[in-house]
Amino acid sequence: MSLCVKMSRKFLARVSEKVSISNRLTSSPCCVVTSEFGWSANMERIMKAQALRDSSTMGYMAAKKQLELNPYHPMIKALKDQFESGDSIKLAKDLVQLLYDTALLSSGFSLTDPKIHAKSIHHLVCMCLDIPDEEMKGKCVAADNGPTVAPPAEAGDDAGMEEVD
């Protein structure tokens, strides 16, 4: 299991202070907790909402998050197998980031950049639907099914609406 923790540390070094194996998780693959002196999710939300907040304190206290992994969860076991086999490190990195973001949301924290989370989910959906990357990078082209503008309303329809008043 140390390989999975090592890879998570490598991918999450900038956002998580510590990655460890948890003995208290039963059904979740991972969770985000704060250190003893770090802010809780609610305190972080309150401090972000302050009008005269000190940005230096915010950066220091908000960075005290720790990721705990459940070594018995099937997702974590599959990630460990994928790391050991060396297949698709890019996919593994996306999955680790997605698990971390989901754990942040489940623990009550807010995402620093929701666009990255959405992009990761879209990438995962495209992979499940077997949509090639080249197709996603191109522009979305609508099928030519004729005009998409609604036909003009008839004069009788407007008269009916005015009678309701």
pTM above 0.75, yes or no: no
The CA distance from 16 to 119, in Å, is 20
- What is the β-pairing status of strands 65-69 and 30-34? antiparallel
Question: Which pLDDT value is given to residue 103?
Answer: 93
Residue type, 45: R
Residue spans of the domains in the chain: they are 2-139
The CA distance from 33 to 76, in Å, is 18
Question: Which pLDDT value is given to residue 30?
Answer: 92
3-class SS string, 48-77:
HHCCCCCHHHHHHHHCCEEEEECCCCHHHH
CA distance from start to end of the chain? 70
Minimal CA–CA distance to 21: which of 68, 53, 72, 78? 68
Per run of 10 residues, the mean pLDDT along the chain (length 165 residues) is 70 82 91 85 82 68 80 90 78 85 91 87 85 70 55 56 56
CATH class of 2-139: mainly alpha
Question: Which pLDDT value is given to residue 144?
Answer: 53
